[in-house]
Amino acid sequence: MTPAADEKAMDTERLLAAGERGSHLLFDTRTIAEAYSQDARQLEAVVRSDGPAVERAIHGLLAQPTCSAGRVFVESLPRALQYVLVLLYFELLDGRLRRRRILH
């Protein structure tokens, strides 16, 4: 990506840094709770059966200029895709937290 293109894309560093502090800018609490209450096998089936839609959702989300616009974008998606994005986000956040953990 060119620098100009980067300026128009979501600041994922800011997004994940906020997530580390417990502020999840893309999802409301209700959507997060609903995502975690879903049957994991059903969500895996969504990913397997419609991988291109999941990929488009991820690319569409990352193309949003701000976290606020990203939240509106997520809310426009079908619920199953919202849930998949929630779980992927928290998987990324968890990996980031594990890598940054300071061991004494």
Mean pLDDT of 18-44: 94
- What does the angle CA 70 – CA 74 – CA 8 come to, to the nearest 5 degrees? 25
Judged on CB neighbours under 10 Å (0-12, 13-18, 19+), 98 is exposed
| pTM of this structure | 0.85
**Where in the chain are the domains?**
26-95
Burial state string for 14-32 with b = 16 or more CB within 10 A and e = fewer than 16: ebbebbeeeebbbbeeebb
Beta strands in the chain (DSSP E): none
Could you count the other beta carbons within 10 Å of the beta carbon of residue 48?
A: 9
Q: What's the rounded Cα separation, in Å, for the pair 80 and 46? A: 7
Chain segment 43-101, per-residue pLDDT in tens: 999 899 999 999 999 999 999 999 999 999 999 999 999 999 999 999 999 999 988 87
